Amino acid sequence: MIADAIDTALTVGYALVGWVIFFATVAAILALAAIATGAWGVRAVWRRAVGPSWKRGRIRAGIYVARRRRRTSRPTRPLWSHSQPLDYGEAA
């Protein structure tokens, strides 16, 4: 009878330790997710507060200007399109 009581106590103890480890793992995952989300939010707020990227330094301003210079508002045509006929009568 004492052996059964000791066996039951050990079984319950192992189960309790398993549940503690499980909840500690879940808590650690949730804590890391909260830290990552908080860091992302702080970074987003900081970037908005500082201003646009071209105000943060000369290198970023150069990158900003280069990107703006490359973009066009009109549709682009391939380089070979000037040598191709605009009507496709020959192809038919």
Q: Which pTM does this prediction carry?
A: 0.49
pLDDT-derived band at 91, boundaries 50, 70, 90: low
Average pLDDT (36-53) is 84
Instruction: Output the pLDDT for position 84.
Output: 57
pLDDT-derived band at 92, boundaries 50, 70, 90: low
Q: What is the dihedral of CA 13, 17, 23, 25, to 10 degrees?
A: -170
Instruction: Output the pLDDT for position 21.
Output: 97
Domain range annotation of the chain = 2-71
Average pLDDT (52-60) is 73
